[in-house]
Amino acid sequence: MAHTPEPDQDGLDAVAPPHPVFHVEQALLGAFLLEPQRLGEATGIAPDAFSTAAHAALFAAISSLPAPDQAEHAAHPQWLDAVLAVAREQAPGLTATYLHSLIQVCPWPPHTPAYARMIEAEHCRRRLATAAQRLMHSAHDTSLPLRVTATFDEADALGCVVDDIATRFPPHAGSLPRTPTPPQATTHDQDALDEERLLLATATAHPNSIKQMRWLTPGDFTHPLHAGLWPCLTTLIRRNTPVDPVTVLWEAQHRGLLSTGAEPQELLDLLAGPVGTPEHWGERILHRSVLAAAHHLGRRIEALTHDPANTPYQLVVGSRRALADLTAVRTRWQHATTEPAPTTRPARTRTAKGTAAPRAGPPQTTTPPAARISR
């Protein structure tokens, strides 16, 4: 006879995650094995809601088999053999001993709905973490032909997960999530620095283009000095002040940029040598900013999901706040990449040269009087 491994031999207990939900799953499965008719009390979960493949296979087997008569099940537990046989098709390491241990660890079968709700909540946490990881991967995947579009699609998918969790767990009065926000990742990309320098130099040479670039903000720049110089340019344009490297240097001095260690000649050299158009370099900078914001969004939500103290309600609140920040950057990206609709004014009809057509009067409801015949 083939040897049947015990739970400690097949690794079911050895690989059990140290999270409380693992013990909740054991209690729920034990309740079903002890009283199969309680399966209908567990709503909102499916096999993928369980944290291990063995537990998922057991739940799928229990759900696929008709529940036996309770009295017959207590006297002749052949139903357990059928559950084990079906479950072992997906999890060969399962044993009859493990099924009996599940029955023994179940503290109170009538608490089945509460156990199912806990498992549903933890599954929502894992779904949210997975969606955040996919978003971060998309933001960093340089092989994507339209990386920003793909990243926005993943952000929309993440938003759908958040909305589904909010539907499953309606809002209630409670504290906001206290999970610390991870710091913004610092980048040392030489291409980004070069593009920012080219933008500043080109915008200084062609300042009129800056008026149409309100979609670019200092926060989109990766270097603090470059972020400080952009408001210098926009301020000079708003004041209708002449713009050239010297006037920008003067404005930078008033804003305290020279006190950070930047030398005057360094700023003048930085603002020289324009190439291309400000719009081109501005879109490149905003492109990087969008992807960085999406990656930071994923990190924020991932941090929320890794904090076990957060309830589903707190996960929803924290995720929606993080998504709102990406939405603001996304709106600016749409303004930058969408051609403005042409404004055309309808032509006015004239009856004669220099004479406007008369306005239409109210509809006539009576027969107009006969025309007077002049003598």
- The secondary structure of residue 111, as a DSSP letter, is G
274 and 318 together in one domain:
no
Q: Give the CATH number, domain containing residue 225.
A: 1.10.860.10
Structure tokens that stand for 36 in this block = 């199969």
Terminal alpha carbon distance of the chain: 130
* pLDDT tens, position by position, 182-228: 888 777 789 999 999 999 999 999 999 999 999 999 999 999 999 99
Does 92 map to a domain?
yes
Farthest CA pair distance, the chain = 130
Does 209 map to a domain?
yes
294 and 172 together in one domain:
yes
Reported as a pLDDT band with limits 50, 70 and 90, residue 338 is confident
| Contact of 115 with 31, CB cutoff 8 Å | yes
308 and 168 together in one domain:
yes
197 and 280 together in one domain:
yes
pLDDT of amino acid 342 = 60
Q: Which range has the top average pLDDT, 166-175, 186-195, 299-308? A: 299-308
pLDDT of amino acid 171 = 79
196 and 332 together in one domain:
no
Does 348 map to a domain?
no
| Contact of 8 with 14, CB cutoff 8 Å | yes
Instruction: Kindly give the interhelix angle for 312-337 and 147-168, rounded to the nearest 10 degrees.
Output: 150
Among 288, 319, 350, which residue terminates a domain? 288
Q: From CA 299, how far away is CA 304, in angstroms rounded?
A: 9
Q: From CA 302, how far away is CA 315, in angstroms rounded?
A: 10
| Contact of 161 with 315, CB cutoff 8 Å | no
> By residue range, what is the domain housing residue 132?
123-177+289-337
pLDDT of amino acid 177 = 86
Using alpha carbons, select from 162, 150, 230 the residue that is nearest to residue 195: 230
pLDDT of amino acid 262 = 83
pLDDT of amino acid 308 = 92
> Which residue do the tokens 């503290």 mark?
107
* pLDDT tens, position by position, 219-276: 999 999 999 999 999 999 999 999 999 999 999 999 999 888 889 999 999 999 889 9
160 and 299 together in one domain:
yes
**Cβ count near 266 (within 10 Å):** 13
Q: From CA 48, how far away is CA 208, in angstroms rounded?
A: 57
**What backbone torsions phi and psi does residue 351 show, to the nearest 5 degrees?**
-85, -25
Residue 268 is which amino acid?
Answer: L
308 and 264 together in one domain:
no
- Exposure letters 232-251 (e unless 16+ CB within 10 A, then b): bbbebbeeeeebebebbbeb
Does 137 map to a domain?
yes
Does 64 map to a domain?
yes
How many domains are contained in the chain? Answer: 3
207 and 236 together in one domain:
yes
Find the mean pLDDT for residues 362-374.
Answer: 40
Report percent pLDDT > 70 for the chain.
86
Q: From CA 26, how far away is CA 7, in angstroms rounded?
A: 13
Q: From CA 163, how far away is CA 151, in angstroms rounded?
A: 18
21 and 169 together in one domain:
no
Reported as a pLDDT band with limits 50, 70 and 90, residue 339 is confident
SS3 (DSSP) at 251: helix
163 and 306 together in one domain:
yes
Q: From CA 156, how far away is CA 247, in angstroms rounded?
A: 44
Residues in CB range of 100: below 8 A, 6 or more apart: none
99 and 169 together in one domain:
no
Find the mean pLDDT for residues 97-110.
Answer: 92
Instruction: Find the range with the poorest average confidence among 136-145, 163-172, 337-346.
Output: 337-346
Does 300 map to a domain?
yes
85 and 134 together in one domain:
no
Does 359 map to a domain?
no
pLDDT of amino acid 346 = 52
* 7 pLDDT above the threshold of 70: no
What kind and span of H or E run contains 350? strand 350-352
Radius of gyration of the chain (CA): 34
**Whether the predicted model's global pTM rises above the 0.85 cut:** no
Reported as a pLDDT band with limits 50, 70 and 90, residue 141 is very high
Q: From CA 161, how far away is CA 304, in angstroms rounded?
A: 14
| Contact of 45 with 118, CB cutoff 8 Å | no
Does 112 map to a domain?
no
**What backbone torsions phi and psi does residue 31 show, to the nearest 5 degrees?**
-65, -40
